[in-house]
Structure 1
Amino acid sequence: MGRGRAKAKQTKVARDLKYRTHEVDIGALAKELHGEADQSADPVDESDEFDQWSDYADRD
């Protein structure tokens, strides 16, 4: 019991995916699948994330 809303939501999403037209950038998809790096993307610097929480680290 109680699966009615979840099933209705799944049906709605499935129908939307099936019948909606999607525009696909084939070039971008090929680059992503072949592992070519995007030149416009900024490299992620993870050191800032660790510095943010360094005050809470256990110090032995």
Structure 2
Amino acid sequence: MGRGRAKAKQTKVARELKYYSPDTDLRALESELHGQSTKPATRATHDDARDADPDDYDDWSPPQR
């Protein structure tokens, strides 16, 4: 006995999570998907380019035939 209340609460929480639909900022999502930034652009300096991580994609891509 006692398991009924706990299981009922878990079921209630699971149902709320399943059917919960938060308000979505579609404009922010659209700008993020299109790569537009809402922040003002800044100029990159020579130091910024040196500190950037190298792109390791070439190490993982298959050899060209």
The TM-score range, normalised by the shorter chain, is 0.3 to 0.5
TM-score normalised over the length of structure 2? 0.33
Whichever of the two has the greater Rg, that structure is 2
TM-score normalised over the length of structure 1? 0.36
